[in-house]
Structure 1
Amino acid sequence: MAQDRVEAVERALTILDVFDAPQERFTLADLASATGFYKSTLLRLLGSLERYDYVQRGSDGRYQLGHSPVRLARRHPPGRQLAAWIQPALDALAEHSGETAALLEVAAGRAECLLVAMPGVALRHELRPGEHWLLGDPRSPALDFAGGIMVCQALDTVLESRALWLSLSGPAGRLQPPEAAARLNAAVGDLTRSPASRQVAAPEAR
Protein backbone atom coordinates (compact mmCIF):
# COMPACT_ATOMS: atom_id res chain seq x y z
CA MET A 1 0.00 0.00 0.00
CA ALA A 2 1.20 3.51 -0.82
CA GLN A 3 1.00 4.77 2.78
CA ASP A 4 3.35 1.95 3.88
CA ARG A 5 6.16 3.06 1.56
CA VAL A 6 9.27 4.87 2.80
CA GLU A 7 10.90 6.49 -0.20
CA ALA A 8 14.42 6.72 1.24
CA VAL A 9 14.39 3.02 2.20
CA GLU A 10 13.17 2.02 -1.26
CA ARG A 11 15.90 4.10 -2.87
CA ALA A 12 18.55 2.46 -0.68
CA LEU A 13 17.21 -0.98 -1.61
CA THR A 14 17.27 0.02 -5.28
CA ILE A 15 20.98 0.79 -4.92
CA LEU A 16 21.66 -2.59 -3.30
CA ASP A 17 19.82 -4.34 -6.14
CA VAL A 18 22.40 -2.96 -8.57
CA PHE A 19 25.07 -5.12 -6.92
CA ASP A 20 23.18 -8.28 -7.88
CA ALA A 21 25.24 -8.47 -11.08
CA PRO A 22 28.43 -10.06 -12.42
CA GLN A 23 30.14 -6.68 -12.01
CA GLU A 24 31.42 -6.36 -8.42
CA ARG A 25 32.55 -2.71 -8.18
CA PHE A 26 30.73 0.38 -9.37
CA THR A 27 31.61 4.04 -9.81
CA LEU A 28 29.17 6.70 -8.71
CA ALA A 29 28.39 7.28 -12.40
CA ASP A 30 27.63 3.57 -12.82
CA LEU A 31 25.18 3.67 -9.93
CA ALA A 32 23.56 6.86 -11.19
CA SER A 33 23.05 5.28 -14.61
CA ALA A 34 21.64 2.06 -13.13
CA THR A 35 19.26 3.69 -10.65
CA GLY A 36 18.36 6.96 -12.36
CA PHE A 37 19.15 8.85 -9.12
CA TYR A 38 21.05 12.13 -8.96
CA LYS A 39 24.62 11.77 -7.75
CA SER A 40 23.90 14.03 -4.78
CA THR A 41 21.06 11.71 -3.73
CA LEU A 42 23.26 8.66 -4.22
CA LEU A 43 26.03 10.10 -2.05
CA ARG A 44 23.65 10.63 0.87
CA LEU A 45 22.18 7.14 0.60
CA LEU A 46 25.57 5.50 0.06
CA GLY A 47 26.89 7.27 3.14
CA SER A 48 24.25 5.57 5.29
CA LEU A 49 24.76 2.21 3.60
CA GLU A 50 28.51 2.50 4.13
CA ARG A 51 28.09 3.34 7.82
CA TYR A 52 26.20 0.08 8.34
CA ASP A 53 28.65 -1.87 6.13
CA TYR A 54 26.13 -2.69 3.41
CA VAL A 55 28.51 -1.13 0.91
CA GLN A 56 32.19 -0.27 1.03
CA ARG A 57 34.01 2.46 -0.86
CA GLY A 58 37.49 1.61 -2.10
CA SER A 59 40.47 3.93 -2.32
CA ASP A 60 39.67 4.39 -6.03
CA GLY A 61 36.18 5.67 -5.20
CA ARG A 62 34.38 2.57 -6.48
CA TYR A 63 31.69 0.89 -4.39
CA GLN A 64 31.26 -2.79 -3.60
CA LEU A 65 29.05 -4.81 -1.27
CA GLY A 66 30.06 -4.73 2.39
CA HIS A 67 29.89 -7.53 4.93
CA SER A 68 26.41 -6.92 6.34
CA PRO A 69 24.54 -8.64 3.47
CA VAL A 70 26.72 -11.75 3.92
CA ARG A 71 26.22 -11.67 7.69
CA LEU A 72 22.44 -11.50 7.30
CA ALA A 73 22.42 -14.17 4.59
CA ARG A 74 23.91 -16.61 7.08
CA ARG A 75 20.68 -16.29 9.13
CA HIS A 76 18.80 -17.95 6.26
CA PRO A 77 18.02 -21.65 6.83
CA PRO A 78 20.63 -22.87 4.29
CA GLY A 79 23.22 -21.07 6.44
CA ARG A 80 22.13 -23.06 9.48
CA GLN A 81 22.26 -26.25 7.40
CA LEU A 82 25.79 -25.35 6.35
CA ALA A 83 26.80 -24.88 10.00
CA ALA A 84 25.22 -28.19 11.02
CA TRP A 85 27.14 -29.95 8.25
CA ILE A 86 30.55 -28.29 8.72
CA GLN A 87 30.83 -27.71 12.49
CA PRO A 88 31.29 -31.40 13.43
CA ALA A 89 34.15 -31.65 10.92
CA LEU A 90 35.78 -28.56 12.42
CA ASP A 91 35.38 -29.95 15.93
CA ALA A 92 37.06 -33.19 14.86
CA LEU A 93 39.90 -31.35 13.12
CA ALA A 94 40.58 -29.21 16.20
CA GLU A 95 40.48 -32.20 18.54
CA HIS A 96 42.74 -34.46 16.47
CA SER A 97 45.22 -31.81 15.30
CA GLY A 98 45.36 -29.67 18.43
CA GLU A 99 45.04 -26.58 16.24
CA THR A 100 42.33 -24.04 15.38
CA ALA A 101 40.00 -25.24 12.61
CA ALA A 102 37.79 -22.85 10.66
CA LEU A 103 35.45 -22.45 7.72
CA LEU A 104 36.36 -19.42 5.64
CA GLU A 105 34.51 -17.67 2.83
CA VAL A 106 36.20 -15.54 0.19
CA ALA A 107 34.31 -12.69 -1.49
CA ALA A 108 35.28 -9.32 -2.96
CA GLY A 109 38.97 -9.72 -2.20
CA ARG A 110 38.43 -10.55 1.47
CA ALA A 111 38.34 -13.68 3.58
CA GLU A 112 35.91 -14.05 6.47
CA CYS A 113 35.76 -16.66 9.23
CA LEU A 114 32.27 -18.18 9.26
CA LEU A 115 32.71 -21.02 11.74
CA VAL A 116 35.52 -22.03 14.08
CA ALA A 117 36.57 -24.77 16.51
CA MET A 118 39.49 -24.16 18.85
CA PRO A 119 41.60 -26.75 20.66
CA GLY A 120 41.70 -27.00 24.43
CA VAL A 121 45.25 -25.72 24.77
CA ALA A 122 46.48 -22.35 26.04
CA LEU A 123 48.80 -21.63 23.12
CA ARG A 124 46.52 -21.46 20.09
CA HIS A 125 45.36 -19.15 17.31
CA GLU A 126 42.42 -17.14 18.64
CA LEU A 127 40.10 -16.85 15.66
CA ARG A 128 36.46 -15.78 15.90
CA PRO A 129 33.48 -15.91 13.49
CA GLY A 130 33.09 -12.56 11.78
CA GLU A 131 36.83 -11.80 11.65
CA HIS A 132 37.88 -10.82 8.15
CA TRP A 133 41.01 -9.77 6.34
CA LEU A 134 42.22 -8.72 2.90
CA LEU A 135 43.62 -11.46 0.73
CA GLY A 136 47.39 -11.42 0.57
CA ASP A 137 47.42 -14.10 -2.14
CA PRO A 138 44.48 -14.49 -4.57
CA ARG A 139 45.10 -18.25 -4.63
CA SER A 140 44.54 -18.75 -0.90
CA PRO A 141 42.69 -17.03 1.97
CA ALA A 142 45.44 -17.93 4.47
CA LEU A 143 45.91 -15.25 7.13
CA ASP A 144 49.44 -14.01 7.70
CA PHE A 145 49.81 -13.42 11.46
CA ALA A 146 52.77 -13.00 13.78
CA GLY A 147 54.23 -16.23 15.12
CA GLY A 148 51.71 -18.43 13.38
CA ILE A 149 50.73 -20.15 10.18
CA MET A 150 47.45 -21.00 8.45
CA VAL A 151 46.97 -23.82 5.96
CA CYS A 152 43.84 -23.81 3.77
CA GLN A 153 41.99 -26.25 1.52
CA ALA A 154 39.20 -25.27 -0.87
CA LEU A 155 35.73 -26.76 -0.44
CA ASP A 156 34.64 -25.71 -3.94
CA THR A 157 33.67 -29.22 -5.03
CA VAL A 158 30.44 -28.98 -3.02
CA LEU A 159 29.06 -25.45 -3.21
CA GLU A 160 30.10 -23.86 -6.49
CA SER A 161 28.19 -20.66 -5.76
CA ARG A 162 30.36 -19.83 -2.72
CA ALA A 163 34.13 -19.80 -2.31
CA LEU A 164 34.46 -21.82 0.90
CA TRP A 165 37.67 -23.09 2.47
CA LEU A 166 38.66 -25.18 5.48
CA SER A 167 41.69 -24.05 7.45
CA LEU A 168 43.99 -25.13 10.25
CA SER A 169 46.02 -22.46 12.04
CA GLY A 170 48.37 -22.35 14.99
CA PRO A 171 51.91 -21.60 16.19
CA ALA A 172 54.48 -21.82 13.41
CA GLY A 173 56.79 -24.03 15.46
CA ARG A 174 54.07 -26.59 16.16
CA LEU A 175 51.77 -26.72 13.15
CA GLN A 176 53.39 -28.65 10.29
CA PRO A 177 51.99 -27.64 6.86
CA PRO A 178 52.24 -31.11 5.23
CA GLU A 179 50.40 -32.76 8.13
CA ALA A 180 47.81 -29.97 8.22
CA ALA A 181 47.25 -30.23 4.46
CA ALA A 182 46.73 -33.99 4.74
CA ARG A 183 44.18 -33.55 7.54
CA LEU A 184 42.31 -30.88 5.57
CA ASN A 185 42.27 -32.98 2.39
CA ALA A 186 40.83 -35.90 4.34
CA ALA A 187 38.17 -33.66 5.93
CA VAL A 188 37.17 -32.21 2.55
CA GLY A 189 36.87 -35.72 1.14
CA ASP A 190 34.70 -36.85 4.03
CA LEU A 191 32.46 -33.79 3.72
CA THR A 192 32.10 -34.22 -0.03
CA ARG A 193 31.00 -37.83 0.38
CA SER A 194 28.63 -37.02 3.25
CA PRO A 195 24.87 -37.21 2.46
CA ALA A 196 24.53 -33.86 4.24
CA SER A 197 26.48 -32.19 1.43
CA ARG A 198 23.61 -32.82 -0.97
CA GLN A 199 21.08 -31.44 1.50
CA VAL A 200 23.09 -28.23 1.86
CA ALA A 201 23.95 -27.82 -1.81
CA ALA A 202 20.38 -28.09 -3.07
CA PRO A 203 18.97 -24.97 -1.31
CA GLU A 204 22.13 -22.97 -2.07
CA ALA A 205 21.71 -23.61 -5.77
CA ARG A 206 18.35 -21.88 -5.97
Structure 2
Amino acid sequence: MAQDRVEAVERALTVLETFDSSQEAFSLAELAQTTGFYKSTLLRLLGSLARFGYVQRSADGRWQLGPTPLRLARRHPPSRHLAARVQPLLKQLTIETGETAALLEAQGNRVEVRLAALPDTALRHDLHPGSRWWLRDAENPCPELLGGTMIVRRLASSPGEPLRWLALSGPAGRLSPERASVALAAAEQALAARPTETPTAETAS
Protein backbone atom coordinates (compact mmCIF):
# COMPACT_ATOMS: atom_id res chain seq x y z
CA MET A 1 0.00 0.00 0.00
CA ALA A 2 1.07 3.59 -0.62
CA GLN A 3 1.32 4.40 3.10
CA ASP A 4 3.80 1.55 3.54
CA ARG A 5 6.29 3.07 1.10
CA VAL A 6 9.42 4.89 2.26
CA GLU A 7 10.71 6.92 -0.65
CA ALA A 8 14.33 7.16 0.53
CA VAL A 9 14.51 3.38 1.04
CA GLU A 10 13.05 2.72 -2.38
CA ARG A 11 15.56 5.07 -3.96
CA ALA A 12 18.42 3.29 -2.22
CA LEU A 13 17.09 -0.08 -3.40
CA THR A 14 16.83 1.31 -6.94
CA VAL A 15 20.52 2.17 -6.77
CA LEU A 16 21.38 -1.34 -5.57
CA GLU A 17 19.36 -2.89 -8.41
CA THR A 18 21.71 -1.16 -10.86
CA PHE A 19 24.53 -3.43 -9.72
CA ASP A 20 22.60 -6.53 -10.85
CA SER A 21 24.53 -6.29 -14.10
CA SER A 22 27.50 -7.78 -15.92
CA GLN A 23 29.14 -4.37 -15.41
CA GLU A 24 31.03 -4.48 -12.12
CA ALA A 25 31.62 -0.79 -11.41
CA PHE A 26 29.78 2.42 -12.33
CA SER A 27 30.71 6.07 -12.43
CA LEU A 28 28.41 8.58 -10.78
CA ALA A 29 27.30 9.74 -14.24
CA GLU A 30 26.41 6.17 -15.26
CA LEU A 31 24.40 5.65 -12.08
CA ALA A 32 22.58 8.93 -12.66
CA GLN A 33 21.72 7.91 -16.21
CA THR A 34 20.52 4.45 -15.12
CA THR A 35 18.47 5.51 -12.10
CA GLY A 36 17.29 8.91 -13.27
CA PHE A 37 18.40 10.47 -9.97
CA TYR A 38 20.29 13.73 -9.63
CA LYS A 39 23.98 13.31 -8.82
CA SER A 40 23.53 15.16 -5.53
CA THR A 41 20.78 12.70 -4.54
CA LEU A 42 22.92 9.76 -5.60
CA LEU A 43 25.86 10.93 -3.50
CA ARG A 44 23.68 11.03 -0.38
CA LEU A 45 22.24 7.57 -1.10
CA LEU A 46 25.63 6.09 -1.93
CA GLY A 47 27.09 7.59 1.24
CA SER A 48 24.48 5.85 3.39
CA LEU A 49 24.84 2.56 1.49
CA ALA A 50 28.64 2.73 1.80
CA ARG A 51 28.47 3.25 5.58
CA PHE A 52 26.66 -0.08 5.90
CA GLY A 53 28.92 -1.85 3.39
CA TYR A 54 26.38 -2.28 0.60
CA VAL A 55 28.55 -0.36 -1.87
CA GLN A 56 32.13 0.83 -1.94
CA ARG A 57 34.09 3.36 -3.93
CA SER A 58 37.26 2.28 -5.69
CA ALA A 59 40.43 4.32 -6.11
CA ASP A 60 39.32 5.52 -9.56
CA GLY A 61 36.09 6.96 -8.11
CA ARG A 62 33.77 4.28 -9.52
CA TRP A 63 31.18 2.54 -7.39
CA GLN A 64 30.72 -1.20 -6.92
CA LEU A 65 29.02 -3.60 -4.53
CA GLY A 66 30.51 -3.83 -1.05
CA PRO A 67 30.88 -6.90 1.20
CA THR A 68 27.48 -6.71 2.94
CA PRO A 69 25.30 -8.23 0.15
CA LEU A 70 27.58 -11.27 -0.04
CA ARG A 71 27.62 -11.62 3.76
CA LEU A 72 23.83 -11.57 3.90
CA ALA A 73 23.56 -14.02 0.99
CA ARG A 74 25.61 -16.51 2.97
CA ARG A 75 22.86 -16.55 5.61
CA HIS A 76 20.61 -18.24 3.05
CA PRO A 77 20.31 -21.96 3.96
CA PRO A 78 21.85 -23.40 0.75
CA SER A 79 24.88 -21.13 1.14
CA ARG A 80 25.27 -22.04 4.81
CA HIS A 81 25.08 -25.73 3.91
CA LEU A 82 27.71 -25.31 1.19
CA ALA A 83 30.04 -23.57 3.64
CA ALA A 84 29.53 -26.29 6.24
CA ARG A 85 30.54 -28.95 3.70
CA VAL A 86 33.43 -27.20 1.98
CA GLN A 87 35.11 -24.89 4.52
CA PRO A 88 36.60 -27.74 6.62
CA LEU A 89 38.10 -29.24 3.45
CA LEU A 90 39.65 -25.90 2.52
CA LYS A 91 41.20 -25.57 5.97
CA GLN A 92 42.60 -29.09 5.66
CA LEU A 93 44.04 -28.30 2.24
CA THR A 94 45.74 -25.22 3.67
CA ILE A 95 47.23 -27.24 6.54
CA GLU A 96 48.47 -29.97 4.19
CA THR A 97 49.96 -27.71 1.50
CA GLY A 98 50.73 -24.46 3.30
CA GLU A 99 48.95 -22.56 0.52
CA THR A 100 45.70 -20.66 0.02
CA ALA A 101 42.69 -22.88 -0.65
CA ALA A 102 39.44 -21.61 -2.15
CA LEU A 103 36.11 -22.53 -3.65
CA LEU A 104 35.55 -20.65 -6.91
CA GLU A 105 32.19 -20.20 -8.63
CA ALA A 106 31.25 -18.92 -12.07
CA GLN A 107 28.90 -15.93 -11.91
CA GLY A 108 28.03 -15.00 -15.48
CA ASN A 109 31.26 -13.85 -17.09
CA ARG A 110 33.01 -13.53 -13.73
CA VAL A 111 34.67 -15.87 -11.28
CA GLU A 112 33.86 -15.27 -7.62
CA VAL A 113 35.58 -16.63 -4.54
CA ARG A 114 32.83 -18.23 -2.45
CA LEU A 115 34.99 -19.58 0.37
CA ALA A 116 38.69 -19.36 1.24
CA ALA A 117 41.22 -20.52 3.80
CA LEU A 118 44.58 -18.75 4.21
CA PRO A 119 47.86 -20.24 5.47
CA ASP A 120 49.56 -18.77 8.51
CA THR A 121 52.43 -17.20 6.59
CA ALA A 122 53.24 -13.70 5.39
CA LEU A 123 54.11 -14.81 1.86
CA ARG A 124 50.81 -16.08 0.52
CA HIS A 125 48.05 -15.41 -1.99
CA ASP A 126 45.59 -13.20 -0.10
CA LEU A 127 42.31 -14.45 -1.53
CA HIS A 128 39.05 -13.62 0.23
CA PRO A 129 35.34 -14.42 -0.27
CA GLY A 130 33.82 -11.92 -2.65
CA SER A 131 36.97 -11.45 -4.75
CA ARG A 132 36.10 -11.48 -8.43
CA TRP A 133 37.80 -11.49 -11.83
CA TRP A 134 36.90 -12.12 -15.45
CA LEU A 135 36.15 -15.69 -16.52
CA ARG A 136 38.24 -16.11 -19.62
CA ASP A 137 37.76 -19.86 -20.09
CA ALA A 138 35.31 -22.27 -18.42
CA GLU A 139 38.13 -24.84 -18.29
CA ASN A 140 40.60 -22.40 -16.77
CA PRO A 141 39.10 -19.92 -14.27
CA CYS A 142 42.50 -18.91 -12.89
CA PRO A 143 43.41 -15.22 -12.78
CA GLU A 144 46.78 -13.86 -13.83
CA LEU A 145 48.99 -13.91 -10.73
CA LEU A 146 52.25 -11.97 -10.88
CA GLY A 147 54.86 -14.29 -9.38
CA GLY A 148 52.19 -16.76 -8.35
CA THR A 149 50.20 -19.69 -9.65
CA MET A 150 46.80 -21.27 -9.14
CA ILE A 151 45.87 -24.92 -9.64
CA VAL A 152 42.16 -25.81 -9.87
CA ARG A 153 39.97 -28.89 -10.03
CA ARG A 154 36.47 -28.59 -11.43
CA LEU A 155 33.72 -30.07 -9.29
CA ALA A 156 30.82 -32.10 -10.62
CA SER A 157 27.62 -30.07 -10.87
CA SER A 158 23.94 -30.80 -11.39
CA PRO A 159 21.91 -29.15 -14.18
CA GLY A 160 21.19 -25.53 -13.27
CA GLU A 161 24.06 -25.30 -10.79
CA PRO A 162 26.94 -22.86 -11.45
CA LEU A 163 30.39 -24.13 -12.33
CA ARG A 164 32.58 -24.53 -9.25
CA TRP A 165 36.25 -25.33 -8.72
CA LEU A 166 38.48 -26.17 -5.78
CA ALA A 167 41.67 -24.11 -6.00
CA LEU A 168 45.11 -23.90 -4.45
CA SER A 169 47.23 -20.81 -5.03
CA GLY A 170 50.54 -19.41 -3.86
CA PRO A 171 54.03 -18.35 -4.95
CA ALA A 172 55.04 -19.99 -8.21
CA GLY A 173 58.34 -21.29 -6.85
CA ARG A 174 56.76 -22.86 -3.79
CA LEU A 175 53.48 -24.36 -5.01
CA SER A 176 54.08 -27.63 -6.82
CA PRO A 177 51.43 -28.27 -9.51
CA GLU A 178 51.81 -32.03 -9.05
CA ARG A 179 51.37 -31.90 -5.28
CA ALA A 180 48.50 -29.43 -5.60
CA SER A 181 46.69 -31.65 -8.11
CA VAL A 182 46.97 -34.69 -5.82
CA ALA A 183 45.69 -32.71 -2.83
CA LEU A 184 42.77 -31.26 -4.80
CA ALA A 185 41.78 -34.69 -6.13
CA ALA A 186 41.71 -36.07 -2.59
CA ALA A 187 39.63 -33.12 -1.40
CA GLU A 188 37.16 -33.63 -4.25
CA GLN A 189 36.75 -37.28 -3.30
CA ALA A 190 36.19 -36.34 0.35
CA LEU A 191 33.60 -33.77 -0.70
CA ALA A 192 31.78 -36.28 -2.91
CA ALA A 193 31.57 -38.66 0.03
CA ARG A 194 29.76 -36.09 2.16
CA PRO A 195 25.95 -35.78 2.10
CA THR A 196 24.67 -33.11 -0.26
CA GLU A 197 21.08 -32.71 0.89
CA THR A 198 20.18 -29.45 2.63
CA PRO A 199 18.98 -30.06 6.20
CA THR A 200 15.32 -29.30 6.80
CA ALA A 201 14.09 -27.45 9.85
CA GLU A 202 12.95 -30.78 11.30
CA THR A 203 16.27 -32.59 10.86
CA ALA A 204 18.30 -29.58 11.93
CA SER A 205 16.47 -29.18 15.21
TM-score tier by shorter-chain length is 0.5 to 0.7
Percent same amino acid at aligned positions? 44
Give the structure 1 partner of residue 185 of structure 2: 185
Tell me, in whole angstroms, the C-alpha distance in 2 between the residues paired with 1:19 and 1:105.
18
Give the structure 2 partner of residue 74 of structure 1: 74
Partner SS, residue 173 of structure 2 = coil
What is the TM-score of this pair, normalised by structure 2? Answer: 0.64
Q: Tell me the CA shift for residue 97 of structure 1.
A: 3.0
Q: Tell me the CA shift for residue 72 of structure 1.
A: 1.9
Q: Tell me the CA shift for residue 106 of structure 1.
A: 4.8
Q: Tell me the CA shift for residue 116 of structure 1.
A: 0.9
Q: Tell me the CA shift for residue 137 of structure 1.
A: 4.7
> Per the alignment, do residues 58 and 199 of structure 1 end up closer, same or farther by CA in structure 2, a change over 3 Å counting?
same
**Aligned partner letter, 2:181:** A
Q: Tell me the CA shift for residue 169 of structure 1.
A: 2.1
Tell me, in whole angstroms, the C-alpha distance in 2 between the residues paired with 1:161 and 1:66.
24
Tell me, in whole angstroms, the C-alpha distance in 1 between the residues paired with 2:160 and 2:38.
36
Q: Tell me the CA shift for residue 8 of structure 1.
A: 0.7
Determine if the alignment matches structure 1 residue 173 to structure 2 residue 173.
yes
* Matched ranges for 1:35-50 at <5 A: 37-40=36-39, 41-42=41-42, 44-46=44-46, 48-49=48-49
* Matched ranges for 1:33-182 at <5 A: 37-40=36-39, 41-42=41-42, 44-46=44-46, 48-49=48-49, 54-55=54-55, 65-107=65-107, 109=110, 111-112=112-113, 114-116=115-117, 118=119, 122=121, 125=124, 127=126, 129-130=128-129, 132=131, 134-135=133-134, 137=136, 139-142=140-143, 144-146=145-147, 148-155=148-155, 157=157, 160-182=160-182
> Per the alignment, do residues 184 and 2 of structure 1 end up closer, same or farther by CA in structure 2, a change over 3 Å counting?
same
* Matched ranges for 1:17-36 at <5 A: 17=17, 23-25=21-23, 27-28=30-31, 31-32=34-35
**Aligned partner letter, 1:116:** A
Name the stretch that deviates more: 128-137 or 97-106: 128-137
Verify the 8 A CA contact 1:116 1:127 in the aligned structure 2.
no
> Per the alignment, do residues 128 and 73 of structure 1 end up closer, same or farther by CA in structure 2, a change over 3 Å counting?
same
Q: Which runs of 5+ in 2 are unaligned?
A: 200-205
Verify the 8 A CA contact 2:113 2:131 in the aligned structure 1.
yes
Q: State the Cα RMSD in Å.
A: 4.2
Q: Which runs of 5+ in 1 are unaligned?
A: 201-206
**Aligned partner letter, 2:167:** S
> Per the alignment, do residues 198 and 160 of structure 1 end up closer, same or farther by CA in structure 2, a change over 3 Å counting?
farther
Q: Tell me the CA shift for residue 71 of structure 1.
A: 2.5
Kindly tell me the number of residue pairs found equivalent between the two proteins.
Answer: 190
